[in-house]
Amino acid sequence: RILGLEAQIENIEDQISELRRQKDAKLVEIASVRNVLSPIRRVPLEILSEIFELSCLPEDGIFKASHDGIFRTHTLTRVCAAWRAAAYSTPGIW
């Protein structure tokens, strides 16, 4: 009787582990879908490029080579693949 109960417990624990694994996989899938549906992904490249140029513009409004400007530009390229492509296609920020 005890061995039978222990076998049932082990079986249920295995089922719980499998369900947790499935849940984690679904959460990853949901996050991926949310990223695809994000409103920022629907912003046209021209608008995104303009935003990038404005965000990389120094406070005095004059573009010049500086560590801070390069840092901001490289930060944009590390957000996601779409932003990286947009940044590299925006010559005004380099």
* Token code pair at residue 51: 């935003």
- The pLDDT, as a whole number, for residue 61 is 58
Rounded percentage of the chain residues whose pLDDT exceeds 70: 86
pLDDT tops 60 at residue 3: yes
pLDDT mean across residues, the chain: 86
pLDDT tens-place string over residues 25-43: 999 999 988 888 888 888 9
Burial 38-47 (b: 16+ CB within 10 A, else e): eeeeeeeeee
**Domain range annotation of the chain:** 2-37, 44-93
pLDDT tens-place string over residues 43-60: 998 999 999 988 887 766
Distance (Å, rounded) from C-alpha 62 to C-alpha 92? Answer: 12
